Structure 1
Amino acid sequence: MTSVRVERDGSVATIVLDGATRLNPIGTKTCTAIAAAVRDLEADTRIRAVVVHGAGRAFSAGADIDEISGFDHRDQFEQFIHTFTDALELIEVSPLPFVAAINGAAMGGGLELALACDLRVVHAAGKLALPEAKLGVLPGAGGTQRLPRLLPRGIATEMIMLGRTITGARAHELGLANHLSDSPEAVLSDAQALAAELAAGAGLVPQMTKSLLRETAACTVADGIVRERAVATDLHASADGQEGFQAFVERRAPQFRKERGL
């Protein structure tokens, strides 16, 4: 079983998948632990950004095949998928920004976990794939929905239909990854630096960015702009918005609030 531990460093937290001997497979208990960690960090108003990291040499090899192979009937697999997708949805809708530190292979459910995060850091030789087609199935934890929204549809379709693997360098080239690290060892520190940068800004900006992009994903541009105007106005009226504009006028660094909220 892959356990989950949470490390805090000031306003940045790191959720660590701790099952390195088996490349951090994700089972039911892992999903439950991830969900509990997300809720706990949301309740801690000092935390402003979160990194998700895999212990050892992989981010995650994917869903726990040992657990799945023990299922006797359809309902057990269906319940597992529900638990998995519910945990990933918590990350996606969380007010906190999440950065995936993909220090090695992110396969199947491991990649689906990374896709639920807001930003991704990889290294050139990393391997990313949804290989379920090679087992005669399809991804079931959001991979068929999130990947085509982050990659050109044709490339995403190829990866899903054929289970093709792309490298970290290719993921960065395609825009799936936000940052390309020099080595696997540098991925975590680079991801934490990115999270620290997010944490140092106005606390409501990542939260409102996530909700705005999510709410307007299927809107027309005109309808999206209506929602954008409302969000921009709310942020301008917030304490951090007022401080940011005042600091600009006074030619000084803004002093944003240390905790999340208005």
Structure 2
Amino acid sequence: MSLPELPAIDLTEIVASLQDGILLITLRNSRKTNSFTEKMSHDLIRVFQWGDADDRVRVILLTADPKERAFCAGADMEEVIKGSVLLGRKEDSEDEHRDPGGQVALSIYNNRKVTIVAVNGHAWGSGFTSLQLPFDFRFIWAGAEITLPFLRLGILPESTSTYLLSRLVGQSRATSILLSNAKMRPDSPNLSSLYQDILPNKEDVLPAALSFAKTIAATSAPVSITYTKGLLHHPGMTIEENHLLDSRAIKRRGASKDGEEGLKAFMQRRSPNFPDTVSGETSWYPWWKSRDVNQPKTKL
């Protein structure tokens, strides 16, 4: 079954375009400083799923209009107060509720393509948790203010951030970031290792991220990216298990058309043209069993 084209996807709080293998997504809820809403969560999930499935997409890049004060101002508090799904509707049971920020984070973290975020404004709450932590690469404006207001509001950090942040910066730094209620800058000792690059001007962030994305799109084998992300996110329980996974992945990639093309391109000193597609890689990947969190009956 053919995929719908981007214009056929009904997006209202983001805009998206595809060019040269790069799916560029821009937050556009400017009336509320790009606040994170239930509709924005649906839009983001749909477009990341689309990018995952379409073989033309090599890299997915998220950003916001640099003219806006905030990259994302966190959850839409008016929506929260009215009883939106962001904190769980009253009719939801504890087992049935699914955090929308977490659903967005899963669609990004589990994406088979390279994901990059260009944070060109202040990032509060969800603008840090769901819209930064699950990405493969993060570029940010040096002047961005990062604020996590969760504990002051009597709630808690969402979007699987307790899991992701401790994996990214270590348990001690994650604890300091999530429990201190501090306002931080990207060059904070606890935060700086998160970022691929910290740019001095807001206007520099997207061009830097885009240049990086173009290099990856032009030079990296998509299926090899998929395997590498899978090994990073779903390693074996021991080094021996990892060795078995590595060995099988290396054998499969080495015997692939991509592997043949990569070696030829290297010997001929030319750019590779990798023929294998992510959608065609189904015989072994994924090698792990995923839990269907969208099913209401799925419980801990």
Same fold per superposition (TM over 0.5): yes
The one-character-per-residue Cα deviations of 1:186-226 (angstroms, maximum 9, x if unpaired) are: 1111111121122112111221121111111x622222222
- The alignment status of 1:4 with 2:14, answered yes or no, reads yes
Report deviation, 1:84. Answer: 2.6
The one-character-per-residue Cα deviations of 1:104-153 (angstroms, maximum 9, x if unpaired) are: 11221111121111110012222224221222221121111111111132
Quick check: 1:47–1:259 contact (8 Å CA) kept in 2? Answer: no
SS of aligned partner of 1:8: strand
**Structure 1 residue ranges without an equivalent (≥5):** none
Residue 66 of structure 1, aligned match among 68, 78, 83: 78
- The alignment status of 1:108 with 2:108, answered yes or no, reads no
- The alignment status of 1:76 with 2:86, answered yes or no, reads no
- The alignment status of 1:88 with 2:68, answered yes or no, reads no
Q: Which moved more, 1:172-181 or 1:230-239?
A: 172-181
Question: Aligned pair in 2 of structure 1 residues 171, 128: CA closer, same or farther (>3 Å)?
Answer: farther
Q: Distance in 1 between matches of 2:189 and 2:116?
A: 15
Quick check: 1:20–1:58 contact (8 Å CA) kept in 2? Answer: no
The one-character-per-residue Cα deviations of 1:131-188 (angstroms, maximum 9, x if unpaired) are: 2122222112111111111113212101111222321223797310111223111111
Q: Which has the higher contact order (CA 8 A, sep 6+)?
A: 1
Residue 118 of structure 1, aligned match among 98, 112, 136: 136
Q: Distance in 2 between matches of 1:136 and 1:157?
A: 17
Q: Distance in 1 between matches of 2:222 and 2:17?
A: 20
SS of aligned partner of 2:270: coil
Q: Which moved more, 1:99-108 or 1:159-168?
A: 159-168
Quick check: 2:128–2:146 contact (8 Å CA) kept in 1? Answer: yes
Q: Distance in 1 between matches of 2:144 and 2:28?
A: 19
Q: Distance in 2 between matches of 1:40 and 1:253?
A: 27
Quick check: 1:159–1:165 contact (8 Å CA) kept in 2? Answer: no
Q: Distance in 2 between matches of 1:72 and 1:14?
A: 28
Tell me the amino acid that sits aligned with residue 63 of structure 1. A
Q: Distance in 1 between matches of 2:194 and 2:185?
A: 11
Q: Which residue of 2 aligns with 1:205?
A: 224
Quick check: 2:186–2:192 contact (8 Å CA) kept in 1? Answer: no
Q: Which residue of 2 aligns with 1:131?
A: 149
SS of aligned partner of 2:35: coil
SS of aligned partner of 1:140: coil
Q: Alignment length, in residue pairs?
A: 261
**Structure 2 residue ranges without an equivalent (≥5):** 1-11, 282-300
Quick check: 1:203–1:257 contact (8 Å CA) kept in 2? Answer: no
Q: How does 1:1-262 map to 2 (within 5 A)?
A: 3-55=13-65, 56-71=68-83, 75-76=88-89, 81-112=98-129, 113-170=131-188, 174-200=192-218, 201-216=220-235, 219-257=237-275, 260=278, 261=280
Quick check: 1:3–1:17 contact (8 Å CA) kept in 2? Answer: yes
Q: Distance in 2 between matches of 1:240 and 1:6?
A: 29
Q: Distance in 2 between matches of 1:46 and 1:72?
A: 35
